[in-house]
Amino acid sequence: MSAGKKPLWTCPRCHHRFVTRNMWHSCGRYSLGDHFKGKDPIVRQLFSRFRALVQKCGPVTVYAQKTRIVFQTRARFTGVATRKHWLDAAVWLKRRLEHPRFYRIELIPPGDYIHRFRLTKPSDIDRDLENVLREAYAVGCQKHLEPGNKV
């Protein structure tokens, strides 16, 4: 753990880890498999490719939640929701990044941005997405809180 960063709090019920103690969450235990029931096989293939790309960024914890699957370092920095034929995904960045892949960008004041996008085919998981995920991974590691770092 980096100097100055508090240890993560672990929920005693679901065992998920959080940056702050008693953080609100949909406490429950879900399996990855639950998210793929009744979905087209392409959805699982897309998820496997997305997960592999996220894991290229560094160590992550993957949590299956009630409505989504999230990826966490210290904080959750990306996640997906499975749909019948595709994945809806989002990344957390510290800046607004304009790109045709993003169908919505939400500002969370004062300076956080959630970028939403859809993955429908394997070619959607490309070098551009890898670069975005690397930036989001650094945000999840809270690199922006370290002196002299700007993510």
Question: What is the CATH classification number for the domain harbouring 105?
Answer: 3.30.1460
Domain annotation covers residue 11: no
Is 66 contained in some domain?
yes
Contacts made by residues 62-69, CB under 8 angstroms, sequence distance 24+: 62/32, 63/16, 64/30, 64/31, 64/32, 64/34, 64/35, 65/25, 65/26, 65/28, 65/30, 66/26, 66/28, 66/30, 67/26, 69/32, 69/35
Residue 118 belongs to a domain: yes
Which secondary-structure segment (H or E) carries 127?
helix 127-140
pLDDT of residue 44: 98
Cross-strand pairs, 102: 117
The Cα diameter of the chain in Å comes to: 48
Nearest 5°: CA angle at 135, between 60 and 62? 20
List the domain range (segments joined by +) for residue 58: 33-145
Confidence band for 1, pLDDT divided at 50, 70 and 90? very low
Total count of domains within the chain: 1
- 1 occurs within a structural domain: no
In a domain, 3, yes or no: no
Joined together, the tokens standing for residue 85 give 């034929």
Which tens digits make up the pLDDT trace of 86-125? Answer: 999 999 999 999 999 999 999 999 999 999 999 999 999 9
List residues bridging with 69 in a β-sheet: 64, 80
In this prediction the pTM is 0.84
pLDDT in tens, 124-149: 999 999 999 999 999 999 876 656 66
42 domain residue, yes or no: yes
Q: Residue 67: inside a domain, yes or no?
A: yes
Confidence of residue 75 (pLDDT cuts 50, 70, 90): confident
Asked whether 70 and 120 are in contact (CB, 8 A), the reply is no
Domain-located, residue 15: no
